[in-house]
Amino acid sequence: MAARRGSELIIRRGDGQPSETFTAIGAVQSSTLDINGNPIEVTTGDDVDGNNEIWQTFITGPKNFSLQARGIAKSTQPLQNVYDDFATGALTNYEIVIPQLGTFTISMIVGAMSFEGPYDGVASFDVTLQAAAAPTTFVAEV
């Protein structure tokens, strides 16, 4: 199987309806998704190898899922929806497709938004979404 295009990493926002429809949050041109296990260090003086050297020791910590998307707003609604989520602190379902990995459905909060206005370029936005809980579903890519 071949490597895949970055544009196949897809982020879609749910409309909150019982049978949820997921749509793009704008013309995303770059996105980064981080899954962090936040390992907790539990090293003690007993954690030594055969040469009596101490090794750092960890246990798994609280997991965390966040993503950053950068793009262009082609129309008003998608951007305003994301801002409304930020303003009201709404938990919103997102569908996130990661090439070669699979599709997550996950409830997210808007952690941060920023807007850029290059004088000779196109206005763009940057949004950081933070998982509000563990993913609701994960369907591995086949």
Partner 1 sequence: MTDSTLEVQKAIVGALKGDAAIVLLTGGRIYDQPPQQPTYPLIEIGPSFGDVWEGSDMDGWEVVMTVNVWSEKPGRVEASQIATAIKSAMHRAVLPLDTQQFVLGDVMGTNVIPQDDGRTTLAAIRLRFLTHDE
Q: How far apart are CA 18 and CA 39, in angstroms?
A: 36
The helix (run of H) or strand (run of E) holding residue 70 is strand 64-72
Position 120 contacts partner 1 (CB under 8 A):
yes
Position 93 contacts partner 1 (CB under 8 A):
no
10 or 134: CB nearest partner 1: 10
Nearest in space to 97 (alpha carbons), one of 3, 34, 12, 2: 12
Nearest in space to 23 (alpha carbons), one of 99, 67, 75: 75
42 or 72: CB nearest partner 1: 72
Position 11 contacts partner 1 (CB under 8 A):
yes
Which tokens go with 49?
Answer: 């190898």
The terminus-to-terminus CA distance of the chain in angstroms comes to: 11
40 or 72: CB nearest partner 1: 72
Instruction: Provide the 10 A C-beta neighbour count for residue 49.
Output: 8
Position 127 contacts partner 1 (CB under 8 A):
no
Position 134 contacts partner 1 (CB under 8 A):
no
The one segment of 26-34, 43-51, 87-95, 102-110 that binds partner 1 by CB under 8 A: 26-34
- Which residues form the interface with partner 1 (CB under 8 A)? 7, 10-11, 24, 26-29, 71-72, 74, 120-122
